[in-house]
């Protein structure tokens, strides 16, 4: 049996790759997204969606409450835990004073097949409603700072997203923003700016959610 997996290529054409399963003789034809550069390297999903992700991070920074109870990572969990412990101790002290102390219970739950049951149409509409601008200007910078424990210099790409009318020149950004986050570092202006269109971002989101298929061990 032949299986065909289709995804659109960034240059509006498709790249075909033939792959053979190690467990059997099943032939698979994979059509994968490919870079338009001369070396034709394949782009990861994170690379394809990097601009969209940067824009959504910018919108989240504008209205953090739009993210609900979500967090970026463990660094965002710790302040929430500290606040919870502080509020809990305060609550227990009030109950102790009133001689009305009651046991505290914790419940740990897991939703079976949580991501499989997400309403993708509803999710897409929620994300699209977060986009408040028609155009987003993306400025690119590079930060070089020492990694003393490894004895080398570390490279990091930094982006600034804003409406086009809020453009700020590099010296101001370096002095007022980058210098506060990085010490003993060299800042390099990427010079070239990109403009992301709202319609293009929505189109890419819809393609990502509805136009791709995930295959894991011959299961779709």
Q: What is the pLDDT of residue 64?
A: 85
* Tokens 């011959």, residue located: 218
Structure tokens at 149: 């424990």
Q: What is the pLDDT of residue 115?
A: 79
- 216 Cβ contact list (under 8 Å, min separation 6): none
Structure tokens at 17: 């790759």
**Local mean pLDDT, 10-residue blocks, the chain (220 residues):** 41 41 45 47 83 93 84 83 86 63 76 83 91 95 87 89 94 92 90 92 91 72
Kindly report the pTM of this predicted structure: 0.65
């Amino acid at each position: 049996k032949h299986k065909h997996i289709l995804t659109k290529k960034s240059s509006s054409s498709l790249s075909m790759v033939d792959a053979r399963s190690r467990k059997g003789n099943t032939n698979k034809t994979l059509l994968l997204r490919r870079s338009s550069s001369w070396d034709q390297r394949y782009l990861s999903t994170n690379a394809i969606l990097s601009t969209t992700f940067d824009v959504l991070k910018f919108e989240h920074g504008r209205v953090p409450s739009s993210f609900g109870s979500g967090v970026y990572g463990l660094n965002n969990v710790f302040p929430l835990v500290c606040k919870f412990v502080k509020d809990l101790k305060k609550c227990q002290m009030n109950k102790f004073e009133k001689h009305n102390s009651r046991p505290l219970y914790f419940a740990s739950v897991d939703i079976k097949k949580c991501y499989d049951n997400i309403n993708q149409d509803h999710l897409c509409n929620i994300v699209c409603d977060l986009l408040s601008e028609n155009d987003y200007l993306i400025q690119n910078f590079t930060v070089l700072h020492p990694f003393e424990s490894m004895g080398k210099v570390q490279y990091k790409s930094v982006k600034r997203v804003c409406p086009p009318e809020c453009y700020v020149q590099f010296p101001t950004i370096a002095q007022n923003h980058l210098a506060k986050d990085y010490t003993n570092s060299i800042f390099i202006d990427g010079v070239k700016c990109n403009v992301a269109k709202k319609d293009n971002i929505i189109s890419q989101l819809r393609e990502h959610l509805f136009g791709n298929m995930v295959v894991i061990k011959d299961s779709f």
